[in-house]
Amino acid sequence: MTGQRLLFDCLLLALPAWALMAGTGCSRKSVAAAAPAPAYGSAIVESSGGTQIGAAGSALGQPVVVQVNDDQNNAVTGAAVSFKGPGGVVFDPPNGITDSSGQFSTVVTLGGMAGRYEIVATTITKAQKPVAVKIEEIALDYQRRLGQILDDKYCSRCHNPESTPERVSNYDNLEVKPHPFTEGETLNKLSDADLTGIISHGGPALNKSPLMPPYGYTLSRTEIQALIAYIRMVSDPPYQAPGMVYAQK
């Protein structure tokens, strides 16, 4: 009885599959199924390429690289990885398998709108459970990109502690340490008006160190606004604009 039932079930399943193959006239799909048994990891981590800042709508400068590890934290070769992101984000390629060092890399093109983009890389464990890692990238619109260019020219030499041979940071040489622009805990507490004041009139405008010079006679109003918009965009944790303020009754 059960045998008959099984046969029936098989027939039932096989029929549409056969119809599909005959209908599309494509026999490649069955070849793909014969690929070597895939490897499975138990965790996926970001290797590089996270929190990049790029122009809205364009490809990020560095590829995003993730690594699949097993229980012993060893890299797994041949594990399937797929990338997903919000609308407008394009991955090249969107999925594939990890290379000999357990890594998979993709070039990410961000959407046309400025903002923070959360992209997700997923792999499947042996138990067929998906595990994922979230990676955040930042897209800048015209104004914020202008801010980024200005930051690069005027601010980052002191405000960015990272030093490279091409561009030595002045951060360590300053008695009073400047706040890196990603330092949301501090900078988010300052209003736009405060930031405008510090940038235009220097540190003493807010009773802070005179080591921060004034740029009010060097940068235009538009440029200072662009700089602030950029600082708000890169701050971590993200900056929340204050809501409307109403007069109390």
Partner 1 sequence: MQSSNLGSESLWKKLFGEPIRAFGIVSALLLVLLAIAPAKNYFSEWRHYQNGYLRLIRTRGDAITLQRHFQPGIQQIWNPELGVTDRCMSCHVGLKEASLTDVSQQPYRKHPVIPHATDQFGCVMCHRGQGAATTIEEAHSSTRAWEQPILPARYTESGCGQCHRAELESTPQLNQGRALLARYGCVQCHTIKLSDGGVMQAAQDAPSLSHIADKTTREWIFAWLKDPQSYAVSAAMPNFKLKDEDIRDISAFLIANSSPIPGDTLPAFNQKATPDPTAGASLYGESFCASCHAVQNAAGNLVGGNVGPELTRIGSKAKPEWLRAWVRNPRIYDAKTEMPHYRFTDQQVATMEGFLLAKSDSDFLANVHLEPATPEQVTHGKSLVMEYGCASCHEMAGIKKPENFAPELTRVGSKSVSQLIFLPGIPHRMPDYIASKIRQPRAFASGLKMPQYTFTTSQIDALTTALLAQNDRAQTVPPSLTVPAPPRSHYRPAGKAGQIMSDLACFSCHSINGRGGDMAPDLTWEGSSVQRKWLDEFFRNPGTLRPALIRRMPKFNLSNEDIATLSDYIMTVYQNPDIDRDSMPESGYSPTLVEQGKQLFYSKYACQSCHIVNVKADKGYVGPTLTSIGSRLTGAWIYHWLKNPQALRPGTVEPNRNLSDDEARQLTAFLMMQKGTIKKEAGKQ
Q: Which residues bind partner 1 (CB under 8 A)?
A: 55-59, 61, 107, 109, 111-115, 141-143, 145-146, 149, 153-154, 157-158, 165-166, 168, 170, 173-174, 209-218, 222, 225-226, 229, 241, 243-244, 246
Quote the CA–CA distance of 96 and 82 in Å, as a whole number: 7
Identity of the residue, 16 or 61, whose beta carbon is nearer to partner 1 in the bound complex: 61
Identity of the residue, 16 or 213, whose beta carbon is nearer to partner 1 in the bound complex: 213
Cα 115 to the center of its chain, rounded Å = 10
Answer whether 219's CB lies under 8 Å from 227's CB. Answer: yes
Per-residue CA distances from 134 to 44, 76, 114, 117, 120 (Å): 10, 19, 19, 10, 5
Identity of the residue, 78 or 115, whose beta carbon is nearer to partner 1 in the bound complex: 115
Identity of the residue, 80 or 208, whose beta carbon is nearer to partner 1 in the bound complex: 208
Quote the CA–CA distance of 132 and 43 in Å, as a whole number: 8
Identity of the residue, 97 or 107, whose beta carbon is nearer to partner 1 in the bound complex: 107
Identity of the residue, 79 or 199, whose beta carbon is nearer to partner 1 in the bound complex: 199
Six-digit token string for 102: 């357990």
CB of 98 to partner 1, least distance (A): 22
Answer whether 126's CB lies under 8 Å from 40's CB. Answer: yes
Residue 108, CB-side half-sphere exposure with 13 Å CA sphere: 36
Quote the CA–CA distance of 167 and 164 in Å, as a whole number: 5
Six-digit token string for 128: 């067929």
Answer whether 133's CB lies under 8 Å from 141's CB. Answer: no
Per-residue CA distances from 43 to 46, 74, 133 (Å): 10, 10, 9
- 142-150 vs 221-234: helix axis angle to the nearest 10? 100
CB of 110 to partner 1, least distance (A): 9
CB of 225 to partner 1, least distance (A): 7
Backbone angles phi, psi at 11, to 5 degrees: -60, -45
CB of 65 to partner 1, least distance (A): 16
Identity of the residue, 114 or 231, whose beta carbon is nearer to partner 1 in the bound complex: 114
CB of 145 to partner 1, least distance (A): 7
CB of 152 to partner 1, least distance (A): 10
